[in-house]
Amino acid sequence: MANYDDDSYFQPSNTKNPEALKYCPGGNPFITFAGRQWWINYHWTQRSGTWADEPFKSIFDPKIIQRTDKGVRLQILPSDQPNVWRTSELVLMDKLGYGEYLVTAEADGGSFSNLDANAIFGAFLYQYSEAPPSNGPNIHREIDFLEVLRSGVGNAQFTLQPYDNNPHPVNFFKIPPGTNAITIYNHWYKDPGFNLVSYFACYAGKWSLGNLPPREAAFAWWMPSNQEGIKRLIPNHTDTSCERLHLNLWLMHGAAPSGPQSVTVTGFEFQPAS
């Protein structure tokens, strides 16, 4: 029988394991940002160290995650191994549940619309273990607030899982050319009728929960709770849920970019659902 909502992957396998800590700057698996602790060696395993196989095929290297005066810089850099790149991921230690999530970020190369074709910047909720069957088909409680990636349809998307659901639970859009800074917003809650809602929006520029513009000012927004066949993929949150916010910059199938890439996460805010 599966151990549903099993949170043991976080403690002590990576955050207190001396072998894992060797890969972290100063032996510290955490970085402090926006008043919270973020885990930087999520992908480490006893078998393969910081190497992660498909779909990443790269090294998730905690040592290239940099704390700067602007925030936290996620990078994609070459490694000393042929055709293997180093990539970055942050995982929030707090399990926040329902509420309003807001992330601000800057494309260090100039514009999110020009991020390398093989690079993906992601902001998403995910739990490592499976949720119980009562949660529905989204077994990892995954909500992809934003994935910046180049495709034939656009250069970004909002997504629920599983992706192979019919219809596909995805909303494609284009980040306007020249957009250096973005604000990612997701409101996950239960409405008065106890229906699950996940409302997605992405804005140009840096905003906060206190001054967020109306959705008409966003360059993209999506409310999958209005779509039959998709709204059932919005996960629930329970006392045993262990979904956490992830922020990453990586390469699909390890495909080499044209050169180093970096995105700086400049802010994070959360307001619990009332």
Q: What is the pLDDT of residues 195-250, one digit of tens each?
A: 999 999 999 999 999 999 999 999 999 999 888 899 999 999 999 999 999 999 99
Look at residue 3 and tell me if it is in a domain: no
Torsion (CA) 128, 130, 135, 138 in degrees, nearest 10: 70
List the structure tokens of 264.
Answer: 């700086």
What pLDDT score does 233 carry? Answer: 97
Q: What is the pLDDT of residues 5-23, one digit of tens each?
A: 999 887 667 788 899 999 9
**Residues with Cβ within 8 Å of residue 179, at least 6 apart in sequence:** 107, 111, 112, 113, 204, 219
Closest CA to 185 of 120, 74, 270: 270
Segments forming the whole domain that contains residue 92: 18-272
In Å, what is the CA distance from 203 to each residue of 20, 84, 182, 234?
37, 33, 6, 22
State the total domains in the chain.
1
Give the chain's residues under pLDDT 70: 1-2, 11-12
* Contact assessment for residue 145 and residue 222, using Cβ atoms and an 8 Å cutoff: no
For residue 206, is it within any domain? Answer: yes
pLDDT at residue 2, as a whole number: 67
What beta strand segments (E) does the chain contain? 30-33, 36-39, 51-52, 58-60, 66-67, 72-78, 85-92, 99-107, 119-126, 143-148, 156-160, 170-173, 181-190, 196-204, 220-222, 244-251, 261-272
pLDDT at 83: 87
Give CA angle at 240 (235, 243), nearest 5°: 50
Whether residue 245 is contained in a domain is answered as: yes
pLDDT at 1: 46
Tally of CB atoms within 10 A around 240:
12
Q: Is residue 172 a part of any domain in this protein?
A: yes
Residue 99, domain CATH: 2.60.120.200
Q: Which of 6, 237, 268, 274 is nearest to 123 (CA)?
A: 268
Q: Token pair of 63, please?
A: 């040592």
Is 136 inside a domain boundary? Answer: yes
Residue with tokens 């890439």: 261
Site of tokens 């409310």: 223
Q: Is residue 7 part of a domain?
A: no
Confidence (pLDDT) at 151: 74
Residue carrying the six token digits 């925030």: 71
Tell me whether residue 2 is in a domain: no
Whether 104 is covered by a domain: the verdict is: yes
pLDDT of the residue at 12: 67
